Structure 1
Amino acid sequence: MNRTVRNFIDQAILTDKQSVVVGTGKSGLAAARLLHAVGAQVRVVDRNEDVNEDILGELKGKVTLIKGEHRKEHFADADIVVFSPGVPVKKLASVLDGIPASKLVSELEFASWFIEAPVLAVTGSNGKTTTVSMIAAILEQAERRIFTGGNIGVPLCEYLLDMEPAEIIVLEVSSFQLQNCRLFKPHVALFLNFAANHLDYHEDMDEYLDAKLALFSQMTGEDTALMHESLREMLENRPFTNAHVEWFGANETFEAPNLLGTHNRANIEAAWQAVKRFGVTEEQAGETIRNFKPLPHRIEPVAEKFGVLYVNDSKATTLDAALAAVHSFDRPVRLLMGGVWKGGDVDAFAKAIKGAVVSVGLFGGSREILEPALEEHCAVFWDETLEDAVKRQTNLSDINDVILLAPATSSFDQYNNMAERGNDFKRVVEGLHE
């Protein structure tokens, strides 16, 4: 427990204040733990009728759990409402009516009130986890004491309660987390890229961009905002931050044999520009980057069979991410796509893959969205399952082809998450006979 948390307790800042936590995911429960630790009365609400009180763990019997449809009386007496990531506040407008916006915060925002160490935060539509993991590896190589979490791994509230204080806090931050942030202030913040994503959650692209830019709104001239060159035209004349702004792009500064594609070259440059603000040398960064390997489900080579390379990029849940994956190879690509549609310009995507992709194997959902545009530029097939799609593309393939899983969709039509989808792809590939 850090000093600021202890100060909140000693000064009774939140003692007996009524808090409401929306959602029983790991971030919501971590926020409930922190609220309870600082003396607040905690009410946890979740629409899921099947949630069991056992999910509260050590908080069982100490906080109130309300299941089922949210009602106005669940929030009317709240001094603070903390949202788990992914809870769409606008859809709760009717039950939150009359509660000042200042009382509505994300778990990330709430946790940030207690942070003492400088924050290095990374956002973007694609590549966040790879870049954050690379930054963390470089800083650890440089023997800096860090905490890595946020949208990946450990929630920030949990760090504050359970872990040793860090010198640097490295966070992956999503638009879901940022949409209810007003005071969160990183010392260094990265914006990797921006493309259609989460339009099943955000009202439109403008709302999605506004959420991303909230990351930079409280930064000052002593802080650094690192922005990818692709954002310059959109943001250069927009007053979105008071931070010192610098622009970066793909760079060949470092040897990186395990990271394919121009997009990863940009991620490497972003990581370097960020860590050097914390005293890391080029030599320290170079050694780590040279040995850094892609994370699971992110342009991950699975096997080479019959002269065909099988690559798992299940994390490519947008068209832009899928396009970056396609252009990572100088071999003919047979692309596997399908799932729950999240938005984007399929016509532009189809034109951009012309010549690089020789066939597309669709599976599961979104066929009616993807097939009409894609079939104008390459052969397109559809199968109910990923397994059948892999086998069909294998039968069609020639030596030197790449069979690439880059679905450009979320996984929730047939899988619980993108990792489960990627692991299923690996299972199918492993079962193919030599």
Structure 2
Amino acid sequence: MSLDTRTDDGWATTRFVVLGFGTAGYACADSLIQAGAEHLVVLDDRDNEALREKAVILETLGATITLGPGSTAELPKEVDVVVTSPGVPPHSPLLAQAAERDVPIWSEIELAWRLRDPATAAPWLCITGTNGKTTTVQMLTAMLQAAGLRTVAAGNVGLPLLEAVMDPEPYDVIAVELSSYQLHYTHSMSAHSAAVLNIAPDHVDWHGSLDAYAKDKGRIFENCQIACVYNVADQATEELVMDADVIEGCRAIGFTLGTPGLSMLGIVDDLLVDRAFVEQRATSALELAMISDVTPAAPHNIANALAAAALARSFGVPPTAIRDGLRGFRPDKHRIAHVADVAGVNYVDDSKATNPHAAQASLLAYEQVVWIAGGQAKGATFDELVIAARDRLRAVVLMGQDKQVIAEALERHAPDVPRIVVEATDTGAMQIVVGEAAKLAQVGDTVLLAPGCASWDMFANYGARGDAFTEAVHALDN
């Protein structure tokens, strides 16, 4: 297909199928109609009042909406392009049929890229990784705004990317968070610069293997124009840069918590420094900010700040804007957030740590920890985490569906660490968990909610889990 602009006549004649009618699917369908698509079918196996209300809106504009069980079982005979919502796995019947028939499959990101108006299109600074994506893209947005640029965080967080590219008032630059789901069916994107923060096992059931998951993450570097940013501490991210087919002249830029080498950003004493985007990089580095400008100043969050700074510097953002952006930035709730100090113990909510890699990074930010963990492990293992963090563990309180998986890893690698298993799963379970943690903690310790698991077995989402933790901690102080 050669549909590259909103004005291309091909939008009117191309037969589109949109798979899924949630937030992303509706945005795709609506954007296609705005672009002039006249042959549009939307399919979703769900059927409820909210979906039917949205269907009425699009049907009045000429789209055909089919809802209910079995709607996505068979690909229509007359179709030129399938636009799929994120999260629909490649082995789903309709996508499998499309692949078998060589029908192009686009993600919402692919559609957004093709809908850009070349005359006013804003460059994209893109971020992916197993953990830290949202915090990093928000840091980047703060830096860009501090430089006086009209920008927005979009994609997997913030404003839907389709809405951003269709805005009648163009942005100067867009900070884009991308998930592996979104990248899987993204083919023609050419980011100004892009970063992969880290690679750890996650969503392997969707992708089929860790290697396939990593390769989908690496799609972010394809056709990259200025800088491919990788994590020096995570060799897999550098390998993805080496494997990418980029625009001639695009540079590999590393970030490290150590002293930076040539073409890297890193740490010197208590400073974040740039040895990549300065003319004298062979012999010197440029001060960007102080470690104390990063909140919280946990190691993994400093790494996020360096990755964001690398992307901002690739776009010409001055050091003062890097510093001011970091000073004004505060992470979202439930991301290594201080809740309270009670009886000399620090209570921290990192409910967003929904896999072992994220939980390990959080644990390594504190000296002595009573760790609250458990939930739905999604097939993950915890041996590597326990080995890395065992010397910091005062005790562990376990809850949730897959608590035994973590208990077995503790028994193998940290058998002397006390652990309490809470069997309760009702709304009062978190109060019991926090109460047990408080009994085990000593003055100067941190009680850390970093579950390493998804929350859906006991809570509506990780936010509800974090809120329950916060409420239970405040109850201790009363």
Deviations, residues 57-84 of structure 1 (Å, cap 9, x unaligned): 7425432222223455443322111111
Q: 1:387 aligns with which of 431, 455, 461?
A: 431
For 1:64, the equivalent position in structure 2 comes to 64
Residue 430 of structure 1, CA deviation? 2.3
Q: Determine the structure 2 residue equivalent to 1:323.
A: 360
Per-residue deviation at 1:163? 5.4
Which of residues 238, 247, 252 is equivalent to 2:254? Answer: 247
Deviation string 1:3-31 (CA, Å, 9 cap, x unpaired) is x75423xxx22114321111222121111
CA distance in 2, matches of 1:404, 1:180: 37
- Pick which of 51-60 and 107-116 moved more: 51-60
- Given that 1:317 and 1:407 are in contact with CA atoms closer than 8 Å, whether structure 2 keeps it comes out as yes
| Residue correspondence of structure 1 range 28-427 to structure 2 within 5 A | 28-40=25-37, 41-50=39-48, 52-56=51-55, 58-62=57-61, 63-66=63-66, 67-71=68-72, 73-92=74-93, 93-96=95-98, 98-101=100-103, 103-115=104-116, 116-162=121-167, 164-219=169-224, 222-232=225-235, 235-236=238-239, 238-242=242-246, 243-250=250-257, 251=267, 252-253=271-272, 254-255=289-290, 256-330=293-367, 332-376=368-412, 377=414, 378-383=417-422, 384=424, 385-427=429-471
1:188 Cα deviation (Å)?
A: 0.5
Q: Matches of 2:77 and 2:450 in 1, distance apart?
A: 45
Query: CA offset at residue 162 of structure 1?
Result: 4.1
Q: How many residue pairs end up in the alignment?
A: 424
SS of the counterpart of 1:355? helix
Secondary structure in 2 aligned to 1:393? Answer: helix
**Cα–Cα, structure 1 residues 48 and 396, in superposed 2: closer, same or farther, change >3 Å?**
same
- Separation in 2, partners of 1:432, 1:78: 60
Q: CA RMSD in A?
A: 2.1
Same amino acid, percent of matched pairs = 31
**Contact (CA 8 Å) 1:317, 1:410: kept in 2 or not?**
yes
- Is this contact kept in 2: 1:364–1:386, CA < 8 A? no
The alpha carbon displacement at 1:94 in A equals: 4.5
Report which stretch shifted further, 243-252 or 361-370: 243-252
Shift of 1:106: 0.3
1:388 Cα deviation from its structure 2 partner? 2.1
Report deviation, 1:223.
2.1
The answer to whether the 8 A contact 2:231-2:237 is kept is no
> Which runs of no fewer than 5 residues in structure 2 stay unpaired?
258-266, 273-288
Equivalent of residue 27 in structure 1, options 24, 28, 46: 24
Q: Secondary structure at the match of 1:351?
A: helix
TM-superposition CA deviations, 1:334-357 (whole Å, max 9, x none): 111111113444122111111101
* 8 Å contact kept, 1:54–1:60: no
Corresponding letter in the other structure for 1:397: A
Q: Is the 8 A contact 1:333 1:404 kept in 2?
A: yes
Structure 1 pair 57–125 and aligned structure 2 pair: CA distance change class (3 A): farther
Q: After the TM superposition, which of the residue ranges 17-26 and 230-239 deviates more from structure 2?
A: 230-239
Flag the 1:90–1:238 CA change in 2: closer, same or farther, 3 A: farther
Residues 388 and 16 of structure 1, relative CA distance in 2, 3 Å threshold: farther
Distance 1:187 1:353 in 2: 38
Q: Does the 8 Å contact 1:53/1:60 carry over to 2?
A: no
- Relative to structure 1, the CA distance from residue 235 to residue 288 in structure 2 (aligned partners, 3 Å threshold; closer, same or farther) is closer
Q: Which amino acid aligns with 1:111?
A: A
1:165 to 1:426, Cα distance in 2 relative to 1, 3 A: same
Look up the SS of the partner of 2:91 in the other structure.
Answer: helix
Are residues 413 and 158 of structure 1, via their aligned partners in 2, closer, same or farther at CA, if it must alter by over 3 Å?
same
Q: What's the TM-score, normalizing by structure 2?
A: 0.83
Question: Given the superposition, is the C-alpha separation of residues 15 and 94 from structure 1 closer, same or farther in structure 2, using an over 3 Å criterion?
Answer: same
Distance 1:56 1:425, change over 3 A: farther
Alignment check: 8 A CA contact 1:198 1:343 kept: no
What secondary structure sits across from 2:127 in the alignment? strand
Q: Which has the higher contact order (CA 8 A, sep 6+)?
A: 1
Distance 1:208 1:100, change over 3 A: same
Aligned mates of 2:327, 2:409 — CA distance in 1: 39
- The verdict on how the C-alpha distance between 1:233 and 1:141 changes in structure 2, with shifts beyond 3 A counting, is closer
**2:131 and 2:317 mapped to 1: Cα distance?**
25
SS of the counterpart of 1:209? helix
In structure 2, the CA distance between the partners of 1:388 and 1:45, relative to structure 1 (3 Å rule), is farther
User: How far did 1:258 drift?
Assistant: 2.1
Runs of 4+ residues over 6 Å off in structure 1 = none
